[in-house]
Amino acid sequence: IGRGHAEALMPAIAAMMGDRRAGAILVDIGPGSFTGIRICTAAARAPGLAWGVPVAGFEGGALVAAQAFADRCGLAGVTVLLDAGRAQLLRQQVARDFSAGPIDTVAPAELAIGAEESTAGAMAPASPGLRIHDCHPDARFALAIAPQRRALPPQALYVRPPDAVLPL
């Protein structure tokens, strides 16, 4: 939602929940924007603490992979690509059992054209000529992630240091 998501998130969660309480909470721990991931994990941990329910995390790439596997049943694995900002993409190989390789960053121009069948993601800086199975992270697929991959600590996952620097 751009700016203001911190202010909008808790009222949106409250409106969605109404008088109900969750029995457990799952949260996308990243990778993603430094501030956004901190807001997400805090917004999940606060009601978890208040309600006394478990809070667990999953990687955003696993969520995109779960959607790709649901949409294309025959995939043995998928290369997940997500916008990393700075005209870069986050890339991770995820197998059907949700075992995953390391996350790296790549420029869109470095992507190989021809591997589109097993490539999924939600990307802003796409490479010309590259067709990608468009999967914006969708929470409805969170329970399709293998249990061991959605039981991570609810702590932010970053792939690079923050842009902010301390004053001298």
For residue 124, what pLDDT is reported?
A: 45
pLDDT tens-place string over residues 7-18:
888 899 899 999
Q: Of the ranges 39-48, 128-137, 145-154, which one carries the lowest mean pLDDT score? A: 128-137
* CB-based contact 47:62 (threshold 8 Å): no
Distance of CA 128 to the CA centre of its chain: 24
The DSSP bridge partners found for residue 57 are 27, 152
Average pLDDT value over all residues in the chain: 86
Q: Identify the burial level of 144 via C-beta atoms within 10 angstroms of its C-beta, where 0-12 means exposed, 13-18 middle and 19 or more buried.
A: middle
Q: Is 147 helix (H, G, I), strand (E, B) or coil?
A: helix
For residue 94, what pLDDT is reported?
A: 94
Please name the residues in contact with 103: beta carbons below 8 A apart, sequence gap of 6 or more: 31, 61, 90, 91, 92, 159
For residue 53, what pLDDT is reported?
A: 98
Residue entry with tokens 């696993």: 62
pLDDT tens-place string over residues 34-57:
888 999 999 999 999 999 999 999
pTM (predicted TM-score): 0.85
| Mean pLDDT confidence for 153-159 | 94
Determine how many CB atoms are found less than 10 A away from the CB of residue 20: 7
For residue 131, what pLDDT is reported?
A: 63
| Mean pLDDT confidence for 88-110 | 91
Does the pLDDT of residue 115 top 60, yes or no? no
**Segment (H or E) for 96:** none
**Phi–psi pair at 8, nearest 5 degrees:** -90, -25
The residue extents of the domains of the chain are: 61-138
**Segment (H or E) for 25:** strand 25-28
For residue 1, what pLDDT is reported?
A: 56
